[in-house]
Every structure is written in C-alpha cells, then in structure tokens.
Amino acid sequence: MKVVIFGATGLSGKVILKEALSKNHEVTILVRNVKDIAIQDKNLTVVQGNVLDRNTVNEVLKNQDAVIQSLGVGGKGNGKPTTFVSDANKIILEEMEKTNVKRYIAMSNIGAGDSYTYMPWIFRKLILPYFMRWLQVIVDDKNRMEPMIMKSNLDWTIVRSAGMVDKPAKGKVTHTITGQGLKFTITLSDLARFIVEQLVVKKYIKKTPSVSN
C-alpha cells in the first residue's frame, strides 16, 4: 500500500515509520529537514517541506492510498495553547478530498472527545488541570481536530492513545470504544503496530478506538 506519514520525525512517528516499512508499505514522508531522517529504505520517499504548506501537502498526497497522521508539538511542548495539529489536520483533510485519498488514520489522546468521560475522576479534576497542564493544551487541540475528521467523507480512524512509553513491546494491545480495561500507558512499538494494522483492518473505520497495554 502507498502510505503518507505526517509527523514521521516525532516520538511516535519514527516508530510508526519503521513499522510501516517492515510491513513492506511504500511510504512517503514530509519533513522539515531531510537530515532528521536516518532510515534508508527502497520503499521510503522523503520530501522536504512544511505540513502547513497546502501545495506541498497536495503534491505528496497524489497517487497515494492512505495517510497516517501522528503530528505533535514535540513531546510535552511548551505548555502554551497551540493550534498546530488542528491547523495541519484541516489542510490534510482538504487536500485528501482533492486528491481522492480516502483512508485516514489520525493519532489522538485518551482524554479527547468522549473518552474524557471514562478517565478516572481524580485525573480529570485534579491531575490534568493542575499537574499536567501541558497535556491539557494538547488535548484541547485534539478536540479541535477530531470533529473535523468525523465530519469528513473519508474512511477515517482516530486512535486515542494512552501515555506513550519508550519500553520494549509487550505484544498485546487493549483497544476499546468504551474505555473498559484501559491502562495508563502503551509502548511505542505496540502503538505503532496497532496503527499500521489499521491500514488493512476495517473494524474501526469511522470509529475512535482508545488503546493501551
């Protein structure tokens, strides 16, 4: 499958890229600096540019089958309100419509959308607003992003991730629409495997699975 990955230099994006290539997908990535990509693979095309540049996004989407969007603000960001992901997402969606690319897999966070309701009370009312404000602004931007995707005509899946940890894969992912059985974290490798699997699995088309280990 021909796949574009936006956010391939980020914490999760690097692992998603590696996983997609291991499954023999033909991958195109858009990066600000090609020097940020150390991987060399016959199935990898690297394009230098800005995801907020509509013309560049349109070019990389031509003749593609699917998109994985794992954009972020760089780890915890700076704690200030941001619209980067939602702004980029709007451009990607509009250019996918123009280029007739239908499959869209976007990364979000547990806490966005209706998943907020099945977070523990103490996390919602105390930890998130007072001790994890950096995460709150990220979730706020995902709350701007998610409705855009849901209103689109694309075959979308929004994967809401638990806290990502750079540890060895556990080989098992809990994925749920209702929030039942979720834990607080997921390894990057397990998250990447689940996301790349959605390129061929149809179970969660037009749905919002939350995932953890």
Mean pLDDT of 89-110: 97
Q: How far is C-alpha 75 from the geometric centre of its chain's CA atoms?
A: 13
Rounded distance between C-alpha atoms, residue 154 and residue 150, angstroms: 8
User: Over the stretch 42-96, which tens digit does the pLDDT of each residue have?
Assistant: 999 999 999 999 999 999 999 999 999 999 866 565 668 799 999 999 999 999 9
Q: Which of 10, 13, 84, 15 is nearest to 52 (CA)?
A: 84
In whole angstroms, what is the distance from residue 134 CA to residue 46 CA? Answer: 31
Residue ranges of domains in the chain, CATH in brackets: 2-212 (3.40.50.720)
Structure confidence by residue, pLDDT tens digits, 132-183: 566 678 889 999 999 999 999 999 999 999 989 999 999 999 999 988 889 9
Rounded Cα distance between 58 and 42, Å, is 23
Closest CA to 116 of 153, 86, 148, 146: 146
pLDDT, one tens digit per residue, over 179-202 is 888 998 999 999 999 999 999 999
Q: Helix (H, G, I), strand (E, B), or coil: what is residue 153?
A: coil
